Structure 1
Amino acid sequence: MPSSSCHTVLAESFFHRNAELFRPHLAAVGLSERILSAPESEIPVTQYVALWEVLGREVSPSIGLEVAMRTESGELGAYGHAIRCAPTMELVLRSLTRFMVVLTQATQLSVEDDGKWITLAYRVTDASIVQRRQDAELTICVVLNLLREVTRNPQLAPMRVDFEHRAPRDLTCHREVFACPIRFEQPDNRLYFARELLDMPIRTADPRLFQALELFLEQQRQSRAASTDVLSQVAHQIASSLSSGCASLEQVASDLKIGVRTLQRRLAEHNVEFSQLVEEVRRSLAENYVMQSDYSLTEIALLLGYSEASSFCRAFRRWTQLTPQQFRQRSRS
């Protein structure tokens, strides 16, 4: 895992296929062009989600849905291949949810069956990632597209879709993609299907290949899930401690009820330094405060643990290549 990140997304061939879309905007979120041709790259989740928000502002407000509709299982590495090869819908849903962490950490995809509906719920679990509309729309639409792919039914539609963010001004693309009622400002992002979904035949099944992929993915899941658990706890504690000025290694270790050396050892196991986690959490929260609030720069600086607004402004410009004022104006325009 890269030392610059707490959680990561695997590039797979997804970034290569969308290289021309991503390339002009990588520098804005601190990513290298190397990821466009290196499927083994692990991309920090904070920067990955931030990239989608940049694309939403600079390219199209519905970019997540637009890219998702042309995304196929083969672009998602072993995770996508396992979903495609699963012999039953039950195993398709199990693979979608159980192995999500192999592809992307700090996220959760779950399936629920209440006897009437089959629902798939998605959320980002990293407390420092607040702006995430494009990631939510991309992921929910990719899940739907994968279900359409394995059933070879391009008309498959949910009964309802929920999103946690506010309703966009233009819902034309949403209505075309989902063809069902859509609700916003909900507790999470969710697809609702009738239980008949479980009876749909899988047209792409390959049971022998699925068996091999499932074993491999389970090994990967255990490794990446363990990393996610530890780093999510630390990132959440940092976010909670910044405004009080107590986001120190010693204080976070105390809050987590572990020793300082134990915390350092756990972070080292994932090639992560505590100071880098603080920096990432600060950046994510800073972008959210600047975009979504009317706080003054002094107030934001204090919320993030800076003693002066000037120190915050220098850090913000280093992160985004923009002043906070420029960033706020651009996001609101």
Structure 2
Amino acid sequence: MTPSMYANQIRIMTTTKLAARPCKLPAAFWRSLERLGLSPPAVLRAASLPATLHLDDTVFISTSQLFAIWRAIEALSGDPAFGIRMACETSSAQHMIAFVSALYAANWRDGLERIVRYKRLCSPDELRMAEQDGKMSVTSAWPDGTAPEPCISVEASFALLVELGRRGTGQRLAPLRVELRRRAPGSDGHAAFFGCPIRFGAQADRLVLDATQLALPFRGHNPEMLGMVGPALAAALREIEAQANFEQQVRAALRRAFAAGRADVAMVARELGLSERTLQRRIGEEGKTFRLLLDDTRRNLAHQLLSDLSIDVKEVAFLLGYQDSNSFNRAFRQWEQVTPLTWRRMTAGHASLLVSRQSLPDN
């Protein structure tokens, strides 16, 4: 998609009514707190939550608990810009999985769309982006009846999007303006980071970007670098280097397209430098169809990703290019007759049994 396709029109990325749902805080979140000098147990206690909750990566929390954690972070840090620091002072490799994936997008727009899709899959809120007259406006939406999002949480999200553009392009990009509900703080952390006019005390939080900057290419656009996400994805992407035949080239292109959420004939054909018709013909010459290769590649990659217990099931859906977790669950049921979570538990149990048997002493 070219910038001209978006000119002089409003583009709403999602308008669906949101339903309340629990979420998980990734390990990267707690590591970021520790690096900046905050103790996760202290934060959890201040939020009236179990002090060891951060040690259990299977625990889901409600939106009200999430907000309580953010409020505790600001109270204990005493720094209104602490959320911004979490975004900009965390190394790329230590960020959440969506940020790592987005860094290797083609450009800032592509990276933002990956973050939006990740939010839709893995978070109780959604980022909504509207484009008009050369400006991209970003807001956050929560289910009806949700209490106002803590200011520190909003600002961390906005900072993450700006930091994505800066690290991806290698330029110190600045928004056109930022509107924040927060009253003007006594420190200059917000102004120093955003580098643009900030309106404090606004009715709603809004990040306004220069739409022309969204097409700036990302320096690290290289799908193989997605191996940073985890060992399972790294192993899956090694095949990119070994394109012995045309089918393997198509499968490698599909893997690269999954994370972008656009694994279709047009995208694969474009990447391989072929017309869609030629792509379909060459696949047919090997006795396959594009749909067959797409489903089989996605199924195999799903197995590899689910085998890595550090990747949440919703994150697997994101990395496979699904727009929502229900679509992934339906597809996986068709493949394996069980849900992804059930398959993970079954295979993990089988692996544990094999290890225990191998550790038995010989008689």
TM-score, structure 2 length as denominator? 0.53
| DSSP-derived class of the 1:113 partner | strand
- Which residue of the other structure, out of 76, 79, 85, is the alignment partner of 1:66? 85
The residue identity in structure 2 corresponding to 1:32 is: P
Alignment-derived partner of residue 184 in structure 2 = 168
| Residues 78-87 or 28-37, more deviating | 28-37
| DSSP-derived class of the 1:156 partner | coil
- Which residue of the other structure, out of 85, 94, 100, is the alignment partner of 1:81? 100
Aligned length: 219
- Tell me the distance in 2 between the aligned counterparts of 1:224 and 1:35: 27
Q: Is the 1:73–1:146 contact (alpha carbons within 8 Å) kept by the matching residues of 2?
A: no
- Tell me the distance in 2 between the aligned counterparts of 1:144 and 1:24: 29
- Tell me the distance in 2 between the aligned counterparts of 1:224 and 1:170: 45
- Which residue of the other structure, out of 16, 25, 30, is the alignment partner of 2:31? 16
- 1:76 Cα shift? 4.2
Q: Is the 1:11–1:35 contact (alpha carbons within 8 Å) kept by the matching residues of 2?
A: no
Alignment-derived partner of residue 193 in structure 2 = 177
In the alignment, structure 1 residue 213 sits paired with structure 2 residue 282: no
The residue identity in structure 2 corresponding to 1:197 is: Q
**Per-residue CA distance 1:110-159 (angstroms, 9 max, x = gap):** 22221321222224445232351111111111211121111122x21111
1:209-288 alignment, distance < 5 Å? 209=226, 210-214=256-260, 216-217=317-318, 221-223=323-325
Q: Is the 1:11–1:42 contact (alpha carbons within 8 Å) kept by the matching residues of 2?
A: no
- 1:180 Cα shift? 1.0
Q: Is the 2:126–2:141 contact (alpha carbons within 8 Å) kept by the matching residues of 1?
A: yes
| DSSP-derived class of the 1:109 partner | strand
The answer to which structure, 1 or 2, has the higher relative contact order (CA under 8 A, 6+ apart) is 1
The residue identity in structure 2 corresponding to 1:170 is: G
- Tell me the distance in 2 between the aligned counterparts of 1:225 and 1:100: 16
- 1:191 Cα shift? 1.8
Distance 1:177 1:52, change over 3 A: same
In the alignment, structure 1 residue 91 sits paired with structure 2 residue 110: yes
| DSSP-derived class of the 1:112 partner | strand
Q: Is the 1:25–1:54 contact (alpha carbons within 8 Å) kept by the matching residues of 2?
A: yes
The residue identity in structure 2 corresponding to 1:194 is: D
- Tell me the distance in 1 between the aligned counterparts of 2:116 and 2:58: 22
Alignment-derived partner of residue 349 in structure 2 = none
- Which residue of the other structure, out of 88, 113, 121, is the alignment partner of 2:139? 121
Provide structure 1 residue ranges, at least 5 long, that are not aligned to the other structure. Answer: 227-333
- 1:196 Cα shift? 2.1
| DSSP-derived class of the 1:129 partner | coil
Distance 1:37 1:214, change over 3 A: farther
Q: Over aligned residues, Cα RMSD in angstroms? A: 2.9
- Which residue of the other structure, out of 62, 66, 70, is the alignment partner of 1:44? 62
Distance 1:128 1:121, change over 3 A: closer
| DSSP-derived class of the 1:191 partner | strand
**Per-residue CA distance 1:185-208 (angstroms, 9 max, x = gap):** 434322222222123110121246
Distance 1:146 1:43, change over 3 A: farther
| DSSP-derived class of the 2:206 partner | strand
- Tell me the distance in 2 between the aligned counterparts of 1:184 and 1:131: 16
| Residues 134-143 or 22-31, more deviating | 22-31
Distance 1:9 1:186, change over 3 A: farther
Q: What percentage of aligned pairs have identical amino acids?
A: 20
| DSSP-derived class of the 1:26 partner | helix
The residue identity in structure 2 corresponding to 1:198 is: L
Distance 1:131 1:114, change over 3 A: closer
The residue identity in structure 2 corresponding to 1:160 is: R
- Tell me the distance in 2 between the aligned counterparts of 1:10 and 1:225: 23
**Per-residue CA distance 1:28-68 (angstroms, 9 max, x = gap):** 22333444445554333321221121222232231222222
Q: Is the 2:136–2:208 contact (alpha carbons within 8 Å) kept by the matching residues of 1?
A: yes
TM-score, structure 1 length as denominator? 0.57
- 1:10 Cα shift? 3.4
| DSSP-derived class of the 1:9 partner | coil
| DSSP-derived class of the 1:43 partner | coil
**Higher Cα radius of gyration:** 2
- Tell me the distance in 1 between the aligned counterparts of 2:208 and 2:216: 15
Distance 1:10 1:166, change over 3 A: closer
- Tell me the distance in 2 between the aligned counterparts of 1:225 and 1:26: 34
- Tell me the distance in 1 between the aligned counterparts of 2:133 and 2:185: 35
- Tell me the distance in 2 between the aligned counterparts of 1:6 and 1:90: 27
In the alignment, structure 1 residue 192 sits paired with structure 2 residue 213: no
| DSSP-derived class of the 1:8 partner | coil
